Structure 1
Amino acid sequence: MIMVAVGIASTAAVVAGFAGVVVAYGMSSDRPVIIRFRYDVGPTLKKNWMSVIGGSFASAFGGLTGAALFAAALGAIGTWICIAASAVLLHSVGRCLFLFSLLLDVIAAGDERDRSTERTVPVDQAVGVVKRMAG
């Protein structure tokens, strides 16, 4: 059971690291769509990402505490702490995936807007083409 508890702690550390990387690189973009997204939902987004990272750290602590309790022959308490740590970790993973999906949707919307802007011909250019064709 010690290995299971340490596995919970390790998985929680990976989730916290992944969430940190997504926040650092994904949200630090200077693309207009990301800047607007940060402006519109910044405080809410911060609370959500902090929940993911904080929950992961709490799960890691719970896993290590459970491992220590198993080593001290207090398996019943260790089991319940590991179950609670697993539940918090599952919540953090679910929230992280949801937020990551949301971020990808925002980036995709920005890409689509950029592509549609590239395909649009400015009016001045269109008028010039029409005049050349007529003349």
Structure 2
Amino acid sequence: MVKLVRFLMKLSNESVQIELKNGTVVQGTITGVDVAMNTHLKTIKLIPKGRSPVSLDQMSVRGNNIRYYILPDSLNLDTLLVDLDQPKIRPKRPERTAAPGGRGRGPNLAELAHRVNFDVSSRQLDRTLLRCSEYPNQIVRHPEIL
């Protein structure tokens, strides 16, 4: 699928006529088009609807204000559209081994014990309670369980 913006980005140094949604006509030479279809032009003749023309050296037109582009008849569309059909080859991302954290199920006690440098057996870990609100980075032994 060919994206219009990708095609317009290739129109640098082409003289075009752009009609805006408010009826204004802009004639000029494209210096660049960005991904939001904002079009940058030079040597412009701006013709507001119902007013006299104004000449400008340079101008940018916001993409969402453009109704349509009028391209010159001499423009060879086939050469501009040739490589737009080929999809871009993106580099592969490294695969993720596991999610970085849980989703609200509380801390992993074994990981927490390792973080605070405790050697805790699984039996001791079962008897260890964590009070996250009072001691967020410490393992606290509950005296009634021991």
TM-score range (shorter-chain normalised) is under 0.3
Q: Which is higher, the Rg of structure 1 or of structure 2?
A: 2
TM-score scaled by structure 1? 0.28
**Counting strand residues as a fraction of each chain, which structure ranks higher?**
2
User: Could you say which structure has the greater relative contact order, defined with CA pairs below 8 angstroms and 6 or more residues apart?
Assistant: 1
